[in-house]
Amino acid sequence: MKKFAVIVAGGMGTRMGAAVPKQFLPLHEHAVLWYTLEAFLQAYADLQIVLVVPEGHQETAMELVATLAGAERVMQVSGGDTRFHSVRNGLEWIRKAAGDGTDSIIFVHDGVRCLVSEDLIRRCYEQAARLGSAVPVVDCRDSVRLVEEEGRSKPIDRSRIKLVQTPQTFRGDILLGAYTMDHQEAFTDEATVVEVAGHMVHLIEGEAKNIKITTPDDLALAGVLLEG
């Protein structure tokens, strides 16, 4: 089956407090985004990447991509107003390349989850090819409470809570079809879109180190994990 990865690096990373988007911040020898792209390029030799970047940063992204082995397999599109629109921009490129997408598997991954492993990428591919979807999750380790009206709250059984990661992976016809819908506020990730479109979402075990870099503390932790 054809393999595509939409790497969403379209945000500006305002919570990081840096002058440049967080995906372009240095992490050891390379930028954060470099490690993300490298993982997918190494996972499959026949995988094509659609890199979604914010307006005004295309040249920076091109310079980064040029340093990768397999740079010719990375295409670039501009981000949208929301994550939904950024992903849809990436999927539009795939739609032109793969038609109805019935013979493809599509990963959607956060560009700042730079510690994703090749093993997780392959496991997601294999499950999506078999079941139609693979959404990585990890257990919630903390106690959880649901806040109700008038300041009240109640505990929730944390064994039933899962923290969602990426790459969220789907058979192409499922994901491309789901993204023909109009945007809704409830669309916080690809799994939500696919569910609203009427498809079952299948979970898969994620990885504790597959963190999303959002704050300076996250970047420092990623540096430590990368050394390890």
Q: Which one has a higher pLDDT value, 21 or 209? A: 209
pLDDT at 16 over 80: no
Q: Give per-residue pLDDT as tens, 37-96.
A: 999 999 999 999 999 998 889 999 999 999 999 999 999 999 999 999 999 999 999 999
- Mean of pLDDT values over 14-30: 81
Across the chain, what does the average pLDDT equal? Answer: 94
CA distances (Å), 36 to each of 142, 143, 203, in order? Answer: 28, 31, 22
What pLDDT score does 10 carry? 64
pLDDT tens-digit profile of 148-158? 988 899 999 99
Write down the pLDDT at residue 228: 77
pLDDT digits (tens, 9 = 90+) for 92-113: 999 998 877 789 999 999 999 9
Alpha helices in 14-112 (DSSP H): 32-43, 58-65, 83-98
pTM of the model: 0.94
CA–CA gap between residue 20 and residue 37 (Å, rounded): 19
Task: Report the 10 Å Cβ neighbour count for 205.
Answer: 13
For residue range 143-186, what is the model confidence (pLDDT) as tens digits?
A: 999 999 888 999 999 999 999 999 999 999 999 999 999 999 99
Residue 61, domain CATH: 3.90.550.10
Are 107 and 121 in contact, with CB atoms under 8 Å apart? yes
Residue 31: predicted pLDDT: 96
- The neighbour count for residue 161, using CB atoms within 10 Å, is 13
Range of the domain at 149: 2-227
What pLDDT is stored for residue 101 in this prediction? 79
What does the angle CA 156 – CA 162 – CA 167 come to, to the nearest 5 degrees?
160
The domain tally of the chain equals 1
What is the enclosing helix (H) or strand (E) of 176? helix 172-178
State yes or no: pLDDT of 18 exceeds 70: no
Whether residue 17 has pLDDT greater than 90: no
Q: What is the pLDDT averaged over residues 117-124? A: 98
Report in angstroms the alpha-carbon separations of 52 from 82, 113, 158, 196, 206.
12, 14, 34, 24, 23
The length of the chain is 228
Q: Is the pLDDT of residue 200 over 90?
A: yes
Q: DSSP characters for 102-142?
A: TTEEEEEEETT-TT--HHHHHHHHHHHHHHSEEEEEEE--S
